């Protein structure tokens, strides 16, 4: 029994270490193991069948028919891929992938029986050709099958770690089949070996059946033809960027196949020229076995780590670079060695074939399925079948035709010594083309991941301004929704406010009153311009037909734009019979430009409006004051108007204070931020003041005793001011703030930089500031993880030993620490938004917040291809859903965090030293924990918390003080009787009543 327990204990330690060696996580191990067994078993059978049919084919035909074999194989593979794709539309995916291999074995067995029992030599000869052809098709279907199953079982991040191990099944198969085939050849014929291979493939299909049944939930039960129409229309790739991505992927897969076949043809031609059929079969087996050992070592211990750290596209370029440059280099190097000159091509092509196979079946094969992950899941398997299988089939056919034409051309026009170099040059050219395709594929990969979450935003950076203006004119002139037209005018004002009048003025007379009002407001924002008076005056001439709001705006525009206005005409509009808005506008214009007598009349008109019983009169009067230069005697009405019962009046007064820069009433703008009803108006007014408002907003934002929501809006207002001084104020406070205050500033900065994206922060100075802030957050995160691990250890001990109360409070503290981790992760994403494309970062953040592991993996993949910081790898590990101990280890390895096991009291003191970084709830939990565990805290730690702005933190500090020192508590209780928080006030009252008798004794 002891031995058994000892073995289990050792196994529990050994298994995680083994998984770490092969870069695998425990939750992925079972799926990976079953996939590996399935792929290895099937690949052993396929390898035996392939090597046997290659030997039979070369013995029967030589290499002369290889181009025709490639062309025929292309047609056969394309047909089977189309059939495979069609079956996915008719039957559920799980049934198709399980049944395809056994169904394809039947023709193979039939061909063997025909060759075995045929009395006609021509049938035997044809069957050899068909055998070789069918085994090639089996390879194509099996590779497709395996990658589709992997994409269903693993998400985009898991597949980087797991698929290299799964695909190593082929390498294990190379080793097993390679070293066993020469032994089998000695004891049986090649025909019987092919039949044995069929039995092995059937056994592998049985493993696949078990795997798909065990993980049935990973496979859709609905055939693709039954996908709902709306889902299909959303994902139809021919109408989206997916079309371009799939085309690039198609080209990449095809070019890799062309490279492989060109190398393979040259390699087999050299083998056929130097070896007999049995020697050839044995050589292929030994070569495959040795190659398999090298591939296996690379795949198990190197491949997944390189793909995860360097990226899928780095590994995708290794094969074309290596083959394109090493092929001529190796051949020339061997030719320069006198002893190797006659055999230089033979050994050179063996070396190049070795490199090609080594990279193809490690890095390229491992990264292949990852490239299909951005494709929507509902159509991924079908796209994978069509682009992967069809691309290989077409590439095979084109390569066959290319080789055939090349041999024909060389035979007639190229000297015999130079004929081999023509194919070498073609291989180099194809490798170079493949590299350019990989570069194109990389840019579309991230774009597609982002577009799967959100669409890009329209901005002046991606729309030509001239064409946009033409579009606005067309949209406003034609029939259409008024909401759409209003949006066009708003967008025009954002993109080109100074030039908006040029577009809008000629269209004014044709627009509806609402659109006329909006257009005139936009034109006035840019300043009145005499050029457009002719387009606006008709609105004043048709006074009875013109809307009063439009008339008032047109009146203001004309009199502000007119170089020498006739103010006597304005006096007509001061008549009480006129609409109040027109009357108020005329009075404000007279106050601005009139004679003293005219100003007196205008002042009387405005006074009557400001004190009128009707709300509309008061609102229009206040709005008109925004255009007055001197308020003169009207100032005395402002205090009453600020207290007006009408919200519309109060908001109009706030706008007027900002418009006329009444400094004595700026405090009213700050006070209006406290109320939800006036907050948006107050913010707009303060933004209009620009730098004048900075100092008072900063005082409000940095006062921790002000309401949190008010402080948040103060930071947002500073951000909306948008001047260089405001921007620098935000950055300076960002670097000195912490916790939720830093969140508010970050969100404000993100709003500033949302439209231009990275161009707003391209300055290296800002980038270095962001990187320092990220390191600061990560360092604090290390403290959080260290505390969580120590408290978790105590929690596990207390569960077995001590009181339930300690356990409950400890769990609360642990939960508060985990919530802090979530806050810091969110802050890290906000910091990254300052440096990178808003669309990409928004898509990544959306996925990272999801509870789905598939979406989490997609978000991490977007970040991997977006972030360029030196800490990218660390950030990805922190944002991943991994245990806290593992994340702490990553921080320690990066020399950002450190961990020293502490007694629980020391750990609590360390947390309280960092109290500025802790959330209010976490700080309160620290005091509750100190109370139940009777840990002694310093007087400074207690006093700081008694002055904390948050009520429940003060409540926790008082409860702790009640436990450690009644005398000190009684001294400070009278000072806390009038605490504004009801929780603290009730607690103080209860304690005073409890200790009333004790106080009398004192």
More confident: 777 or 269: 777
State both tokens at 483.
Answer: 């909401």
pLDDT on residue 342: 57
The CA angle 731-736-741, to the nearest 5 degrees, is 85
The CB density around residue 468, as the number of other CB atoms within 10 Å, is 18
More confident: 570 or 344: 570
Helix (H, G, I), strand (E, B) or coil at 62: coil
pLDDT on residue 505: 80
Question: Is residue 341 very low, low, confident or very high in pLDDT (cuts 50, 70, 90)?
Answer: low
Q: Report percent pLDDT > 70 for the chain.
A: 77
Segment 8-36, tens digit of pLDDT:
334 445 566 666 666 677 777 788 888 88
Question: Is residue 670 very low, low, confident or very high in pLDDT (cuts 50, 70, 90)?
Answer: very high
226 pLDDT more than 70? no
679 pLDDT more than 90? yes
pLDDT on residue 147: 79
Question: Is residue 5 very low, low, confident or very high in pLDDT (cuts 50, 70, 90)?
Answer: very low
168 pLDDT more than 80? no
Q: What is the DSSP letter of 456?
A: P
Nearest CA-CA partner of 603 in 624, 627, 575, 634: 634
pLDDT on residue 701: 93
Q: What is the DSSP letter of 463?
A: S
Nearest CA-CA partner of 102 in 203, 211, 215, 221: 203
380 pLDDT more than 80? no
Burial class (CB in 10 A: 0-12, 13-18, 19+), 230: exposed
Mean per-residue pLDDT of the chain? 77
Nearest CA-CA partner of 746 in 867, 829, 687, 850: 829
Segment 140-165, tens digit of pLDDT:
788 778 878 887 888 777 777 777 77
Phi/psi at 705 (nearest 5 deg)?
-90, 0
Question: Is residue 538 very low, low, confident or very high in pLDDT (cuts 50, 70, 90)?
Answer: confident
Question: Is residue 502 very low, low, confident or very high in pLDDT (cuts 50, 70, 90)?
Answer: confident
Q: Which of 226-235, 330-339, 460-469, 926-935 has the highest mean pLDDT?
A: 926-935
Q: Where are the alpha helices (DSSP H) in 571-675?
A: 580-593, 596-610, 615-625, 638-642, 647-660, 666-672
Q: Where are the alpha helices (DSSP H) in 414-481?
A: 416-451, 465-477
Radius of gyration of the chain (CA): 39
462 pLDDT more than 50? no
The CB density around residue 639, as the number of other CB atoms within 10 Å, is 11
More confident: 784 or 482: 784
Composition of the chain by helix, strand, coil, percent to 5: 80, 0, 20
Mean pLDDT for the stretch of residues 455-462: 38
Measured distance CA(272)–CA(300) in Å, rounded? 33
Question: Is residue 711 very low, low, confident or very high in pLDDT (cuts 50, 70, 90)?
Answer: very high
State both tokens at 449.
Answer: 């991941």
pLDDT on residue 456: 37
Segment 508-530, tens digit of pLDDT:
888 888 888 888 888 888 778 88
627 pLDDT more than 80? no
The CA angle 805-806-807, to the nearest 5 degrees, is 90
Measured distance CA(755)–CA(461) in Å, rounded? 9
Concatenating the DSSP letter of every residue in 126-138 gives: HHHHHHHHHHHHH
Measured distance CA(325)–CA(883) in Å, rounded? 44
Helix (H, G, I), strand (E, B) or coil at 867: coil
Report field, pTM of the whole predicted structure over 0.85: no
Q: Report percent pLDDT > 90 for the chain.
A: 12
Measured distance CA(772)–CA(779) in Å, rounded? 11
Sign for the CA dihedral angle at 954, 956, 957, 959 comes to positive
270 pLDDT more than 50? yes
State both tokens at 664.
Answer: 């004595």
Concatenating the DSSP letter of every residue in 823-856 gives: HHHHHHHHHHHTTS-HHHHHHHHHHHTSS-HHHH
116 pLDDT more than 80? no
Residue position matching structure tokens 């795949």: 299
């Amino acid at each position: 029994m002891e031995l058994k327990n000892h073995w289990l204990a050792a196994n529990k330690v050994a298994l995680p270490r083994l998984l770490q060696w092969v870069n695998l996580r425990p939750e992925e191990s079972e799926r990976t193991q079953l996939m590996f067994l399935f792929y290895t078993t099937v690949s052993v059978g396929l390898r035996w069948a392939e090597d046997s049919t290659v030997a039979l084919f070369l013995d029967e035909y030589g290499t002369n028919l290889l181009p025709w074999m490639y062309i025929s194989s292309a047609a056969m593979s394309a047909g089977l891929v189309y059939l495979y794709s069609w079956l996915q539309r008719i039957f559920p995916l799980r049934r198709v992938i399980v049944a395809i291999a056994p169904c394809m074995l039947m023709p193979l067995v039939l061909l063997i029986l025909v060759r075995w029992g045929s009395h006609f030599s021509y049938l035997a000869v044809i069957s050899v050709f068909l055998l070789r052809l069918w085994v090639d098709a089996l390879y194509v279907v099996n590779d497709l099958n395996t990658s589709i199953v992997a994409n269903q079982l693993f998400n985009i991040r898991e597949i980087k770690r797991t698929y290299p191990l799964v695909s190593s099944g082929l390498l294990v198969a190379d080793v097993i089949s390679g070293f066993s085939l020469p032994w089998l050849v000695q004891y049986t014929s090649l025909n019987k070996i092919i039949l044995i291979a069929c039995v092995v493939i059937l056994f592998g299909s049985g493993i696949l059946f078990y795997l798909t049944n065990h993980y049935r939930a990973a496979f859709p039960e609905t055939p693709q033809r039954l996908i709902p129409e709306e889902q299909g229309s959303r994902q139809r790739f021919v109408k989206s960027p997916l079309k371009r991505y799939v085309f690039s992927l198609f080209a990449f897969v095809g070019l890799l196949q062309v490279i492989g076949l060109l190398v393979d043809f040259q390699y087999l031609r050299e083998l056929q020229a130097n070896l007999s059929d049995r020697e050839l079969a044995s050589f292929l087996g030994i070569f495959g076995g040795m190659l398999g050992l090298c591939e296996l070592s690379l795949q198990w211990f190197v491949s997944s780590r390189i793909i995860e750290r360097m990226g899928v596209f780095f590994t995708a370029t290794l094969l074309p670079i290596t083959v394109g440059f090493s092929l001529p280099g190796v051949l020339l190097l061997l030719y320069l060695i006198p002893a190797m000159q006659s055999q230089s091509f033979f050994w050179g092509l063996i070396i190049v074939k070795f490199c090609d196979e080594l990279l193809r079946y490690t890095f390229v094969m491992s990264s292949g399925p990852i490239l299909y992950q951005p494709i929507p899941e509902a159509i991924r398997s079908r796209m994978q079948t069509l682009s992967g299988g069809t691309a290989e089939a077409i590439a095979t056919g084109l390569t066959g035709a290319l080789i055939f034409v090349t041999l024909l051309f060389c035979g007639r026009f190229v000297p015999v010594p130079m004929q081999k170099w023509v194919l070498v040059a073609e291989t180099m050219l194809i490798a170079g083309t493949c590299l350019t395709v990989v570069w194109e594929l990389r840019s579309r990969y991230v774009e597609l991941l982002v577009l799967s979450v959100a669409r890009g935003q329209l901005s002046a950076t991606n729309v030509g301004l001239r064409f946009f203006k033409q579009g606005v004119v067309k949209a406003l002139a034609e029939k259409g929704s008024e909401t759409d037209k209003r949006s066009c005018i708003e967008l025009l004002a954002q993109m080109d406010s100074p030039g908006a009048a040029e577009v809008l003025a000629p269209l004014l007379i044709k627009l509806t009153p609402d659109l006329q009002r909006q257009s005139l407001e936009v034109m006035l924002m840019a300043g009145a311009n005499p050029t457009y008076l002719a387009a606006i005056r008709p609105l004043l001439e048709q006074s009875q037909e013109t809307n009063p709001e439009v008339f008032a705006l047109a009146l203001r525009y004309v009199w502000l734009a007119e170089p020498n206005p006739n103010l006597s005409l304005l006096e007509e509009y001061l008549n009480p019979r006129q609409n109040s808005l027109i009357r108020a506008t005329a009075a404000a214009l007279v106050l601005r430009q009139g004679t003293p007598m005219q100003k007196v009349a205008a002042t009387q008109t405005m006074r009557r409006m400001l004190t009128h019983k009707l709300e509309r009169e008061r609102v229009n009067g206040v709005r008109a004051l925004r255009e007055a230069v001197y308020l003169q005697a009207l100032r005395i009405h402002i205090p009453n108007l600020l207290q007006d019962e009408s919200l519309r009046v109060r908001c109009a007064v706030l706008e007027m204070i900002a418009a006329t820069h009444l400094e004595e009433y700026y405090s009213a703008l700050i006070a209006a931020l406290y109320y939800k009803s006036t907050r948006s108006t107050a913010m707009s007014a303060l933004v209009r003041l620009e730098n004048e408002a900075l100092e008072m907003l900063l005082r409000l934002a940095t006062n921790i005793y002000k309401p949190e929501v008010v402080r948040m809006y103060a930071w947002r207002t500073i951000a909306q001011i948008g001047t260089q001084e405001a921007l620098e104020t935000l950055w300076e406070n960002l670097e000195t703030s912490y916790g939720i205050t830093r969140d508010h500033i970050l969100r404000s900065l993100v709003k500033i930089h949302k439209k231009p994206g990275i161009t707003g922060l391209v300055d290296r100075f800002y980038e270095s500031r962001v990187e320092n802030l990220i390191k600061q957050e990560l360092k604090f995160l290390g403290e959080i993880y260290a505390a969580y691990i120590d408290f978790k250890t105590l929690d596990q001990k207390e569960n077995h030993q001590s009181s339930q109360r300690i356990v409950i409070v400890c769990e609360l503290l642990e939960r508060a620490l985990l919530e802090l981790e979530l806050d810091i992760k969110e802050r890290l994403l906000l910091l990254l938004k300052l440096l990178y494309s808003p669309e990409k970062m928004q898509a990544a953040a959306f996925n990272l917040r999801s509870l789905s592991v598939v979406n989490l993996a997609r978000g991490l993949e977007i970040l991997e291809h977006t972030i360029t910081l030196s800490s990218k790898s660390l950030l990805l590990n922190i944002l991943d859903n991994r245990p806290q101990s593992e994340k702490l280890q990553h921080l320690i390895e990066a020399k950002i965090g450190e961990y020293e096991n502490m007694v629980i009291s020391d750990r609590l003191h360390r947390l309280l030293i960092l109290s500025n970084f802790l959330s209010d709830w976490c700080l309160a939990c620290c005091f509750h924990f100190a109370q139940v565990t009777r840990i002694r805290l310093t007087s400074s730690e207690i006093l700081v918390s008694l002055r904390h702005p948050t009520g429940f933190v003060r409540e926790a500090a008082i409860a702790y003080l009640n436990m450690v020192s009644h005398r000190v508590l009684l001294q400070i209780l009278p000072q806390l009787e009038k605490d504004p928080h009801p929780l603290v006030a009730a607690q103080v009252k209860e304690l005073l009543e409890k200790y009333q008798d004790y106080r009398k004794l004192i």
